[in-house]
Amino acid sequence: HGEAWSGPAGARRRAPAAEVLAELGLEPVTLQAKEGLALINGTEIMKAIGALALVRARNLSKAADAIASLSIEALLGSVKPFDERFAVLKGHPGHARCSSNVRRCLANSKVLEHHADCDRVQDPYSLRCVPQVHGAFKTALEHVEGVLAHELNAVTDNPVLFPDTGEVVSAGQFHGQPISMALDYLALATATLANISERRIEQLVNPDLSHLPAFLTPKPGLNSGMMIVQVAAASLASENKSLAHPASVDTVPTSANQEDHVSMGVTAARKLRAIVDNTEHVLGIEWLCAAQAHEFHIELVPGDGARAVHQTLRTRVAKLENDRYMHGDMAAARELLRSGALVAAVESAIGPLDA
């Protein structure tokens, strides 16, 4: 019964679980005494939802750096804040990994070279502080991955059987507080990733900030261009702020007050999943806008990784010439991002990205 995912990253398909097991030469598990209770009585569901969200968040971490690189280039930003020396001075490993990703994405950029001696003193925070914000997200990922890996290998059953002594002891192994707090942390970090992405979208579509045509349309005044997709991104980023309220600070007593403190870990996991969903959409919208902005610099060669970011989107989404229904564009960008196709294309061009 049920369904499963099958296939490599970028080409996964959803199919009946029995079919996928057969393809892999696996047999369904036959449960023995007490194993059914063990599967549902501990932290299994919050770990399962949380682990799947974590995998998607790791992909987001790489994709966010790649998409931000395209935005920085389209906005004629500077690569200097991504200098390795700043990462050494800051001392956060996530900062260093993000800076490395962006530098490699922007290597050999004729766009950046073209305006290297411009009169701009410094870029706005949403460009200049990408290593600090994306780097903090990477740090959160690393912490949460450690917590989940520990819990996935832990005994979370109740009661616990000790075969050596024959004891059956009731304890609190099922309590999900470590997971709940970790998933809340990742939810906060992911919401912040959407926040800074939405701010870069505003930089791209606002002519006073980008010095490009309003809302990135070749026909400003006549067409609305990317106006409404920025509104969608702002809505999703704002929804994330409500979803990011920690579930782990809540508790509700049940079972005649026997279960008088609970972790709300499943709620934390479900909220994280929703925030990851929204953030995939927001980053997809930034990708649409950054690629459209690049069309106004089309005579200049983009960086090695940025070129792969732009070209990957153009396999599914044409540049915007006139207003059109944008849902299909947004869905295509999100699918390319979520499937891993974007990250795979960039890594094919410049080598592995750091999550």
Q: Parallel, antiparallel, or unpaired for β 13-16 and 167-169? A: unpaired
* Cut 0.85: pTM above it: yes
Q: E strand or H helix at 69, and its extent?
A: helix 44-74
Contact 350/107 with Cβ under 8 angstroms?
yes
pLDDT, tens digit (0-9, with 9 covering 90-100), for 194-211: 999 999 999 999 999 999
Give the Cα-Cα-Cα angle 299, 304, 310 (nearest 5 degrees).
Answer: 60
Instruction: Name the phi and psi angles at 254, rounded to 5.
Output: -140, 180
| pLDDT digits 0-9 by tens, 199-257 | 999 999 999 999 999 999 999 889 999 999 999 999 999 999 999 999 999 999 999 99
Cα 162 from chain centroid?
Answer: 41
Domains in the chain with CATH codes: 42-350 (1.20.200.10)
pLDDT > 90? residue 72: yes
Helix, strand, coil shares of the chain as percentages rounded to 5?
60, 5, 35
How far apart (Å, rounded) are the C-alpha atoms in residues 234 and 243?
14
